[in-house]
Amino acid sequence: MAQDKQTTRKLRYAIVGAGMAGLLAGVKLRQNGEEFTLFEKADKLGGTWRENRYPGLTCDVPAHAYTYSFEPYPEWKAYYAAGPEIQAYFEMVADKYDVRRSIRFGCEVAGLVWDEAASEWTVTLANGESHRFDVVIAASGVLHHPKTPPIEGLDTFAGHAFHTARWDDDAPIDGARVGLIGCGSTGVQILTAINKRVEKLVHFQRSPQWIMPVPQFPYTDEDRAAFRADPALMDAIRYHEDYIGAIRRFTDGITDIDGPEMAEIEEICRVNLENSIRDPELREKLRPDYRAACKRLIYSWCFYEEVQNPSVYVETGRIARVEPEGVRMVDGMFHPLDTLILATGFHADRFIRPATVTGEGGRSLDEAWATRPTAYYALSVPHFPNLFLLNGPTGPVGNFSLIDIAERQWDYVEQLLDRLRAGEVRQIAPTAEAHADYEERRIDAAKKTIFGSGCTSWYLDAEGVPASWPWSYDAFADAMRAPVFADYGLSGPSSAQANAASSAQLEEEASA
């Protein structure tokens, strides 16, 4: 918990990004009575829920679990919430907690430069403005730079061709011939939403996905009235053993790939495929040749049913090129199309970039991340003081709530901010030694997780190492309870006292 905010320093905060994590930071700072500026490149808040508007968009975390702990929401319409509902929820939170007045829309952050003498960040916007802050919270997200596949002739297509994060409302769908490239979560959701609307849907599938079956059901008016009357009913869903148990099963499974938890996950997915797909030829098209959860598991209650609609053709061959009237396969087959949808994912290694970030001694973040994006416990980087990343590189990713992850991260960051607020130090960053030790342990563990078991996915960095938290959910919760201040370089007018206090804290904890 943060200390009493009657402090000796009034810090200036910049938050980059008005998505889920940026709004969280804004709410927490506002509740502390602190001022901040939240820079958002778009003209609306919402992050990924603003960028993505495709048919079928649904969060794969139960709605009451993908909700801020301080703002339960009785109005969810179903167990898994649709994208527009989630966007509306974040809009409501921004207004209720008075965050919106501190958001500067249409202000893309182009660069950050650290002034070591002044212990300040200069934040430069794309419009040329510059502002100075004591602390920068980077909450720019992961999946917001669309990845377009290098397919020959893509720019020659005469119809509507677009990435799912740039949805074209004018593109023909109803009664049209539609091509859908990509079978990750987005591709699966779009197929389930539009297959009954089209004349034909060609689903170009590079590699099939394991599908984890989940329940989906609406909340009735009576349900929502009960949630309003008794918020504990929402907590009962959020913390239900079925959900929490599934999280622990998943994180235990990915870290012990030959253990009983992973065996259970794989068996559930295999039985789902075997029992759901009636046509043996289609069943084999949809059977992955890698282990379940090596790629991110797809949670769906209806994909296997919808993909068997006669309007759908699953194409497993290789694309040779796109032509003005459709897609030509390597084997010569031609698919005439009116609309081509690219569900081809994002550049997941960008984070705050393309903004340039320059830390101590003129060192750039691009240099620090030359091998791979990395941060000490996914939150901070050596030589970049007072810069904190929410849902940064090497953080937990998977089929559980990033809101929960971000809230735990914020509780950790608050304890670092308290040192700055109290005037004990002016600069906080992890030491290079602590970060190197963390990365060595993380990489060794990551290679042994299910993510490293032999498939291609957006989890893997340029060297094929899973770029994620490789330990259990409970291990992450434990790590976020309190910083080990001895792992941080604390500098400023009172750094000697701060470091002495850190040593005393460690001795006290050791003797407790």
Q: What is the DSSP string of 393-412?
A: TT---SSS-HHHHHHHHHHH
Nearest-10 crossing angle of helices 20-31, 83-96: 20
Residues constituting the chain: 512
With a pLDDT cut of 90, the percent of the chain lying above it is 87
DSSP 166: G
Helices and strands counted in the chain (H then E): 15, 21
Q: Reduced to 3 states, what is the DSSP secondary structure of residue 277?
A: coil
Q: Which of 54-68, 253-267, 467-481, 494-508 shows the lowest mean pLDDT across its residues? A: 494-508
428 CB burial (10 A radius; 0-12, 13-18, 19+): buried
- Which pLDDT score, from 0 to 100, does residue 18 have? 98
User: Which of 477, 466, 474, 471 is closest to 443 using CA atoms?
Assistant: 466
Distances from the Cα of 215 to the Cαs of 80, 248, 284, 301, 307, in angstroms?
9, 19, 25, 6, 18
The 10s digit of each residue's pLDDT in 130-166 is 999 999 999 998 877 899 999 999 999 999 999 999 9
- Which pLDDT score, from 0 to 100, does residue 243 have? 87
- Which pLDDT score, from 0 to 100, does residue 494 have? 47
The 10s digit of each residue's pLDDT in 339-394 is 999 999 998 888 999 999 999 999 999 999 999 999 999 999 999 999 999 999 99
The 10s digit of each residue's pLDDT in 454-497 is 999 988 998 999 999 999 989 999 999 999 999 999 887 644 44
- Which pLDDT score, from 0 to 100, does residue 493 have? 60
Q: Reduced to 3 states, what is the DSSP secondary structure of residue 134?
A: coil
State the pTM of this model: 0.93
> Is the model's pLDDT at 330 over the cut of 60?
yes
